[in-house]
Amino acid sequence: MEAVHELRTRLMDDRPRAFPPGQTRECPACGNCALESRNDLIRETIVGAMALVHHHLHGARCQHCGSEFLEAYEDLALEEARPEDRLADYEAKVTNVSGRNLGTYWPKDVVRVMELSNQDALEVQILDPDTMIVRRKGKTEE
Ligand SMILES: [Zn+2]
């Protein structure tokens, strides 16, 4: 997250704002001169069942039609902050265990953090073709 913040700051320093504070411009969406500079825009990025909310974004909002426009550096930083990239704490490879069975060796840090042991039961929830959540069945449930 810090890296994304630094990227945004660097981009912000590099270029002037398209919507400078205190200025009102013509709105590209409705044509009214009601496009007002804002520092409080909000965007949500969603991955699977989770939503990340980004506050205090720079841009402009039209007081007439409500259209919002982000500064280019905000768009770039949001793109860089895509949750799919940030959620990966560990990497594990799918390998051929025996015959046509596939298996995964968990990195030792995963084993330690999750306190996994032989014969633990895992629940797998598929969110989309690229995303799954693996949850160890709680010991209290058994
Ligand atoms: Zn408008």
Q: Where are the domains of the chain?
A: 2-86, 94-141
- How many A from CA of 60 to the centre of ligand 1? 10
3-state secondary structure of 9: helix
**Residue 30: its pLDDT value, please?**
96
Domain 2-86 maps to which CATH number in 3.30.479.30, 3.40.50.300, 3.40.50.1370, 3.10.20.860? 3.10.20.860
Q: Quick: pLDDT tens for 14-45.
A: 778 899 999 899 999 999 999 999 999 999 87
Amino acid at 121: A
Q: How far is CA 100 from CA 71, 95, 105, 129, 142, in A?
A: 51, 10, 16, 20, 31
Q: Separation of 75 CA from ligand 1 center, angstroms?
A: 20
The whole-model pTM stands at 0.55
Mark the ranges of the chain whose per-residue pLDDT is less than 50. 141-142
Instruction: Supply 139's token pair.
Output: 């010991």
DSSP code for 111: H
Q: Say what the pLDDT of residue 82 is.
A: 67
Whether the CB-CB separation of 102 and 75 falls below 8 Å is answered with: no
Residue 140 Cα to ligand 1 midpoint, Å, equals 55
